Structure 1
Amino acid sequence: MRVWNMLWAVERNLAGVAAGLCILAMVFITVGGIFGRYVLHTDLIPGGYNLIERVLFPLIVFWALPIAHKEGLFPRFELLADLLPRRGAMAVGAAVLAVEIAVYAAILYFSGTFVAKATASGRTMQIGTDTWPLWPVAVMMPIAFLLMLVEMLRLLWSDLTALRRA
């Protein structure tokens, strides 16, 4: 159980603290850019829009994915299960979860492959007039999908255990 509590703490901290800091940075960059443009008639934060678009917003999304799945904010495809008896509903739920696991495992594989190739090739992104390495942002994709996959495997295990007991 300590492992699950530790994983859930990582998910909460990524979604709450890290994503919250990204949103705060987005606010400061936006306000600073507007203030500089309209009051000082200069660009205070060169590449601010690129920084928000290519760094901060993707980080917010990928850091929020695991906690959003854990909290049940993703659409569930178990509408048919409500019409079935309890055991049938549990079986449909487990089957749907198994398909989701297969899909997210494929996404994890391909995003991990993309990050490995991008890191090996030294891929960069343009922020303003500079280029920044892509890997610090891109590595968050497989981490998020791995956290989601671990949670889904835990849910599948508990569903299969409950189905066996029913």
Structure 2
Amino acid sequence: MEGKIDTLYKGFTKIKNGGLVLAGVAVFLMMAFIVVDVTLRNLFNASISGNYEIIQRYLMPLAVFPAIAITYSSGLMPKITMFVEKLSEKAQYIINMLLLFLEIFVMILIFYYSWKYAVQGLQAGVTFPAGGKMYPLYPVLFLVPIGFALLMIELVFNIIKELMKNPFSSKTT
């Protein structure tokens, strides 16, 4: 059973790494847009039309939401379990499990409502103006629920891993 979970998690890690690459490309494109825009302004008194709006509406969400799961799994986000390290192993286990289930419940809520919002945006054909043109916003709206879905999957793997190292088993402490 543990080998199957590890195999599944390795596959999921590839998806998380793909999200990290996508976020990195978005950051690089943001930097490139800004450098080109500043250069054009200073040297040619011109600007990329809609630069700010495209960065804000497309690239910033691409830089954040695909990388949420890998950020969580790497330990960059603070966790309350850091404060219970002095407790017994069993108490730590119980608190950690409660927090994991609470976190997954919150992620389910965020996923549900952000998915609902994205679907409404898709149905309404939400757009934004940039440089005299209208650009679709609804594709980017789906990044939020996808990012939180990846985070939910990460949490499910964490719950499975915690269940596998149950301190209430028959070993002596």
Q: TM-score, normalised by structure 1?
A: 0.92
Contact 1:81 1:90 in 2 (8 A): no
Aligned residue type for 1:39:
L
Which range moves more in the overlay, 65-74 or 129-138? Answer: 129-138
Provide closer, same or farther for how the CA distance between residues 127 and 6 of structure 1 changes in structure 2, counting only shifts above 3 A: farther
**Partner of residue 124, structure 1:** 127
Counterpart among 99, 103, 116 of residue 113 in structure 1: 116
**Partner of residue 78, structure 1:** 81
Which whole-Å deviations, capped at 9, do the CAs of 1:85-119 have from their partners, x for residues lacking one?
11111111111111111111100101110111111
Q: Which runs of 5+ in 2 are unaligned?
A: none
> Once superposed, what is the RMSD of the aligned Cα atoms?
1.5
- Using the alignment, how far apart are the partners of 2:152 and 2:114 within structure 1? 13
Aligned residue type for 2:13:
W
Q: TM-score, normalised by structure 2?
A: 0.88
- Using the alignment, how far apart are the partners of 1:121 and 1:60 within structure 2? 25
Counterpart among 10, 16, 23 of residue 19 in structure 1: 23
Pairing 1:5–2:10 present: yes
Pairing 1:47–2:47 present: no
Q: Which runs of 5+ in 1 are unaligned?
A: none
Aligned residue type for 2:54:
L
- Using the alignment, how far apart are the partners of 1:120 and 1:64 within structure 2? 27
Contact 1:81 1:89 in 2 (8 A): yes
- Using the alignment, how far apart are the partners of 1:129 and 1:108 within structure 2? 33
Pairing 1:66–2:69 present: yes
Please show how residues 80-95 of structure 1 align to structure 2 within 5 Å: 80-95=83-98
Shift of 1:58: 1.2
Counterpart among 137, 149, 164 of residue 134 in structure 1: 137
Which range moves more in the overlay, 126-135 or 141-150? Answer: 126-135
- Using the alignment, how far apart are the partners of 2:132 and 2:113 within structure 1? 30
Length, aligned pairs only:
164
Shift of 1:80: 4.3
Instruction: State the secondary structure of the residue aligned to 1:125.
Output: strand
Counterpart among 152, 156, 161 of residue 155 in structure 2: 152
